[in-house]
Structure 1
Amino acid sequence: MPLVHSEMIEETCTLLLWKLSEPETELREWLGSAYISEELNAISHPQKVREWLASRLLIKTLAEQFGIAYVGLHKDEHGKAFLIDNDSHISITHTFEFVAVALNPFAAVGIDMEKCDEKLQRTATKYLSSGEIAHAENEITRLCMYWSAKEALYKLYGKKGISFRDSIRILPFLQSAEILEGTLTDNTRLVNSKIHVRWFDQHCLAISL
């Protein structure tokens, strides 16, 4: 998989973005049979299989850059992924065209990548507050930034049952902004986050720290 982008964010978080172009057989060979899990065996859609293989291969690559012996991932009851036998925080996202991972040894991280698509206009009322809808003005680029930012913050928090519309807020931003500010509220807990935004081929990549 060709490396599209590599970046250190806020001195602690490393981001890798790869273009997903290889067939399943090649990805399986690169990853190695030792890392194939029951989770993969439960996936039937060929594209989803490729995305799963590619994301694990990229996590393995990134972990080894930090001198971490990669022995696989496990997920908690909320579906949040963790490295086995290592306390570094990771997050994974993939689309039809890209796979991206982030690793932060010191604190939680969440990433998401979304392609600009008209479906974001059709579903905006499900994930945006009334103020956010007014600010977005039904513009696909802004809607994509809102969705990716909220999804990244949701993944940083790592617990289910959070309403994107009611519990996650993104402050108004310029369309050219590279850092957004967001908050997530869960009962009495408030999580503040800086969310870094990058663009690749009409895809918005958001990294929540």
Structure 2
Amino acid sequence: MPLVHSERIGETCTLLLWKLTETESELRETLGNGFNSEELSSISHPQKIREWLASRMLIKVLVEQFGITYAGLHKDQHGKAFLINNDSNISITHTFEYVAVAINPFAAVGIDMEKSDPKLQRTANKYLSASEFEHAKDELPNLSIYWCAKEALYKMYGKKKISFKDSIYIHPFSVDNQIVSGKLTDEDLILDSRIHVRWFDGHCLAIAL
């Protein structure tokens, strides 16, 4: 997988973005036993299998840069991934063409990447509040940022059953902003986040810290 982009996000988070070029068999050979075969067996679509394997390979490459021995991943009851035998926080995202991983040794992190797609226009009223919907003006770049920012914040929080429309709010932004502000509420908890936005070949990438 050729490295497309690497960046320090904030003071302690590292982002790696790779182009997905390997076949499934090449990824399996490179990983060896470094993945959860039981979790993989629950995936049936060939492309999803390839993306899943690629994300694990990228995590392995990334954590080894920090001198961490990669022993695999485990997931909590909410499906949030953690490194085995290490407390560093990680987040994973993959599309048909790209795989990205963020690692933050000191605080939670969430990452999402999506290709700008008209489906975001068709479903906007399901994930945007009234004020967000008005601000987005049905423009695809705005909707891409809203969706990825909300997904990244959702993944940073790491708990299920959070409404994107009612519980995650993204403050108004300009489409060329590299940082947007978001807020997640869950009962008495309020979680504020600075969400870093990047664009790659028509794909929006968001990292919540």
Same fold (TM over 0.5): yes
Q: Which residue of 1 aligns with 2:78?
A: 78
Distance 1:137 1:34 in 2: 45
- Give the aligned partner of residue 11 of structure 1: 11
Which residue matches 2:111? Answer: 111
Deviations 1:9-63 (A, max 9, x none): 1120000000011110111111113434210122111001101100000000001
Alpha-carbon RMSD across the aligned residues, in angstroms, is: 0.7
- Aligned residue for 2:44, secondary structure, equals coil
Aligned to 1:22: 22
Match of 1:169 in 2: 169
* Matching residue of 2:31: 31
Counterpart-to-counterpart distance in 2, 1:112 and 1:144? 11
The normalised TM-score by structure 1 is 0.99
1:156 aligns with 2:156: yes
Query: Which residue is 1:193 aligned to?
Result: 193
Match of 2:40 in 1: 40
Which residue identity lines up with residue 177 of structure 1 in the other structure? N
- Other structure's SS at 1:114 match: strand
Distance 2:76 2:35 in 1: 18
Number of matched pairs: 209
Among all aligned residue pairs of Structure 1 and Structure 2, give the percentage whose two residues are the same amino acid.
71
Structure 1's consecutive aligned runs of 4 or more residues displaced over 3 angstroms after TM superposition are none
Match of 1:144 in 2: 144
TM-score scaled to structure 2, two decimals?
Answer: 0.99
Match of 2:128 in 1: 128
Q: What CA distance in whole angstroms lies between the structure 1 residues aligned with 2:126 and 2:179?
A: 23
Partners in 1 of 2:72 and 2:100 — Cα distance? Answer: 17
Whole-Å separation in 2 of the counterparts to 1:21 and 1:124: 32
